[in-house]
Amino acid sequence: MAGVRVPSMAFVPAVAAGAALRRCAFTAAGVSSRPCLSSAAPRRGLLRPSHPATRPPAGGLSMTAADAAAAVAGVASGGDAHSGTRVRFAPSPTGSLHVGGARTALFNYLLAQKDGGAFIVRVEDTDVARSTRESEAEVLADLRWLGLEWDEGPEAGGDVGPYRQSERGELYKKLAARLVEEGKAYPCFCTEEELDAKRLAAEADGRPPQYDGTWRDADAEVVAAKVAAGEPYTTRFRVPDGSRVVIDDAVRGEVAWDANATVGDFILTRSSGVPVYNFCVAVDDATMGVSTVVRAEEHLTNTLRQVLILEALGFSPPAYAHVSLILGEDRSKLSKRHGATSVSQFREEGYLPEAMTNYLALLGWNDGSERELYTLPELIDAFDLSRVTKSPAVFDGDKLRWMNGQYVRALPEDRLRALTAEAWAAAGTLTGCDAESAAVAEATSLVRGSLELVGDAVPELDAALSYPLEAAIAAAADGTDGDGEAGVAALLAPDGGFDEVATALLAAVDDGSFPAAADPAVHAPAWKAWVKTTGKALGRKGARIFHPLRLALTGKMSGPDVGAVLRVLAAVDGSAPGAVGLEDRLATLRKVVAARARDA
């Protein structure tokens, strides 16, 4: 039995940062002739281009024939090895960055940072019909927002580029041709109709729908004649008889495949000449020096084809770690029907990058403790692939929101003001107020303690600026609302205190003893002193003075500190189109008190 075994890197903390961990390839007959890899042995096939002067700039240019030829020559000779941990995140630019992809990027980033290695971003854009540069730009922007800066890739450059698969066509073409020349691949002239017929026949016979090898051992002269005549053909990989591939996955343990029974001879390039996904990935992982592939478990089945290709080209396969999928709360695969699933959606909803990276890291990983909050540097220090679990992770939106609240409320004052000012300006709650204004300062101080999302600042401030006193009284009289209005009804009862406290409040306004809120530093202690003095004069303390005052000045039974609300009203005067200012509130209160006195 021919075979390949790729032992896991084990990812034990004792391994020195940046060291290339030992990996060996085995066959059924014993140890392969390929050398085992260690920090002292250069890794075969992990190439830098032979001519760095031709390296594409950060923006990326298509690989030239000369570059590809140099790379192929390097493959044949063993090349110039990269050492240390090199990981990659390989998004397809066909849409937004999904939280699952973001977690994969994060795990790769953490591993590279902890080991002092390289985090590579490689754009897999061979799906010409769906891939766009706009989507690529959005994905890269999301990675930067999360704080996941890459060492090599688009915009960053590097010496193993280009970093877009669409620009590496010459390399794929030459390596596919080399496999054909070595008898490890062959042209297949079967039409789609013929393949469909073979597939249906196999299914009817109860056989796996694999290619039956029609052109595997075709006469060389017949093949040459068809190629010369320009007949379209695909290039198929010749799976060696008896092939068995075994990997020691860092997350899933040992995984093995009988290659002949599982895949049969598979396609490397289509009849159009476009290489297929697995061929591109295998070539890119090898020629970019990727030491460890961390990706979602849905790619596990691709590993078989990729390892076979790597072996045929003379490369040592990387170590693998396939992390479990992220599920919705109904335990189905997380999708749009569960709500926001893309990083950009969460950003727009007011989530912070610190909270997102913290939460994503905990989806399938923990450090063995009960700890829940980590900064990015703390995650780098704690992360270890050996702590990634096989069990699927469930995305809990409530938990993420809670975690985001922890970060929002802990933000430095200047940063939080900048975020709330932007939110209020966008919603039209405040106009003409920047982050340095008194209005934003007082309003931010008012809402900070109740925020979970930055966007919560809008409804929180809107509520504080409203004054639904008459509506609350009407609802209490009708008995149409719930417990909150029952509280209003109790205050409006003859012994409830509303009328007495409201009358005292209006008298204080009239005689000038009610504290003005223009100067926040002066108002805060003055307000407390006034409430204490008024309560003492009325024989009321605690809830018996606070609740009637709150209803009289805010029109509500609950909410932020009443004194803070008064200071916000003073600060936003003229800048909040929807605000009910203090003068208007007092006018309404006078009307209500007078009407109740007449009806008494």
Is residue 28 predicted with pLDDT exceeding 50? no
pTM for the complete prediction? 0.82
Q: What is the pLDDT of residue 599?
A: 87
**Higher pLDDT pick, 62 / 363:** 363
Q: What is the mean pLDDT of residues 13-18?
A: 28
Confidence (pLDDT) at 73: 59
pLDDT at position 129: 84
Range of lowest pLDDT (42-46, 90-94, 278-282, 545-549):
42-46
For the chain, give the percent of residues with pLDDT over 70: 84
Confidence of residue 482 (pLDDT cuts 50, 70, 90): low
Position 29 pLDDT exceeds 60: no
Segment 333-362 shows an average pLDDT of 88
Which has the minimum average pLDDT: 69-73, 591-595, 596-600? Answer: 69-73
pLDDT tens per residue, range 533-546: 999 999 999 999 99
Q: 378-411 pLDDT, tens per residue?
A: 999 999 999 999 999 999 999 999 999 999 999 9
Q: Give the full edge-to-edge strand order of the sheet including 3-6.
A: 3-6, 244-249, 253-258
What pLDDT, on a 0 to 100 scale, did the predictor assign at position 14? 27
Question: CA-CA distance, 357 to 360, in Å (whole number)?
Answer: 5
pLDDT confidence of residue 339: 62
Residue in this structure with the two tokens 């008889």, named with its chain if needed: 241
DSSP secondary structure string, 178-211?
HHHHTTSEEEE---HHHHHHHHHHHHHTT-----
Beta strands (DSSP E) in 205-291 are 234-237, 244-249, 253-258, 267-269
172's tokens: 């794929």
pLDDT score at 469: 97
Percent of the chain with pLDDT over 90: 76
pLDDT given for residue 333 in this prediction: 82
CA dihedral 339, 343, 347, 349 (to 10 degrees): 0
Categorize the per-residue pLDDT at 330 as very low, low, confident or very high, splitting at 50, 70 and 90: confident
Inform me whether the pLDDT recorded for 481 exceeds 80.
Answer: no
- Using the predicted structure, report yes or no on whether residue 128 has a pLDDT greater than 60: yes
Active site residues: 336
pLDDT of residue 419: 96
Pick the closest to residue 325 from 394, 386, 255, 250 (CA basis): 394
Tens digits of residue pLDDT in 231-245: 999 999 999 999 999
Instruction: Indicate if the pLDDT at residue 174 is higher than 50.
Output: yes
How confident is the model over 178-199, as pLDDT tens digits?
A: 999 999 999 999 999 999 998 8
- The answer to whether 445 and 564 are in contact (CB under 8 A) is yes
Query: Residue 250 is encoded by which pair of tokens?
Result: 């860092």
pLDDT band at 209 (very low <50, low <70, confident <90, very high): confident
Q: Residue 148 and residue 156: Cα distance in Å, rounded? A: 13
pLDDT value at residue 36: 30
Closest CA to 50 of 68, 23, 32, 33: 68
Give 202's pLDDT tier (boundaries 50, 70, 90): confident
Distances (CA, A) of 231 to 211, 226, 269, 491: 20, 6, 15, 90
| Terminal alpha carbon distance of the chain | 100
| pLDDT higher than 80, residue 24 | no
Burial class (CB in 10 A: 0-12, 13-18, 19+), 33: exposed
**What is the pLDDT of the chain when averaged over all its residues?**
86
Residue 600 has a pLDDT of 75
Predicted confidence at residue 473, as pLDDT, reads 94
Q: What is the pLDDT of residues 61-88, one digit of tens each?
A: 566 666 666 666 555 444 445 678 999 9
Helix (H, G, I), strand (E, B) or coil at 354: helix
